[in-house]
């Protein structure tokens, strides 16, 4: 089992990635609010930390179940392992934790 976690200040993220949005987020993800984008970014960062290496940002994306639960999807081989992701927001921060098991 591997775990990754990331914390993002929403306003800092907007300044940092401005102009690189299409390199980081899928077309569907780009329809999200800035707050949601920060959560998605945190989830992707947490995934790469759990994976132990950085990959192409677009090789991983977020979808949601009908219940609203986030689902992490990837084209990367995970050797039949599964992922779980949780995203939370507090004030001007978004955080995410990813478990690969």
Per-residue pLDDT tens over the stretch 12-37: 887 777 778 899 999 999 999 999 99
Confidence of residue 54 (pLDDT cuts 50, 70, 90): very high
55 within 8 A of 76, measured Cβ to Cβ = yes
Percent of the chain that is helix, strand, coil (3-state, to 5): 35, 35, 30
Confidence of residue 52 (pLDDT cuts 50, 70, 90): very high
- Residue 85: which CATH number? 3.90.470.20
What is the C-alpha R_g of the chain?
Answer: 13
Contacts for 78 with CB less than 8 Å, ≥ 6 apart: 100
56 is in which domain, residue-wise? 2-100
Residue 8 pLDDT exceeds 80:
yes
State mean pLDDT over 44-51: 98
What's the pTM? Answer: 0.93
State mean pLDDT over 78-84: 95
Could you tell me which of 86, 81, 14, 91 has the C-alpha nearest to residue 46? 86
Give the number of domains in the chain. 1
Please give the mean pLDDT across all residues of the chain: 95
């Amino acid at each position: 089992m591997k775990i990754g976690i990331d914390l993002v200040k929403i306003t800092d993220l907007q300044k940092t990635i401005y102009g690189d949005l299409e390199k980081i987020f899928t077309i569907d993800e780009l329809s999200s609010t800035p707050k949601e984008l920060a959560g998605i970014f945190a989830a992707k960062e947490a995934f790469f930390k759990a994976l132990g290496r950085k990959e192409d940002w677009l090789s991983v994306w977020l979808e949601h179940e009908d219940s609203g639960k986030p689902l992490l999807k990837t084209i990367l081989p995970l050797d039949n392992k599964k992922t779980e992701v949780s995203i939370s927001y507090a004030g001007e921060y978004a955080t995410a934790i990813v478990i690969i098991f």
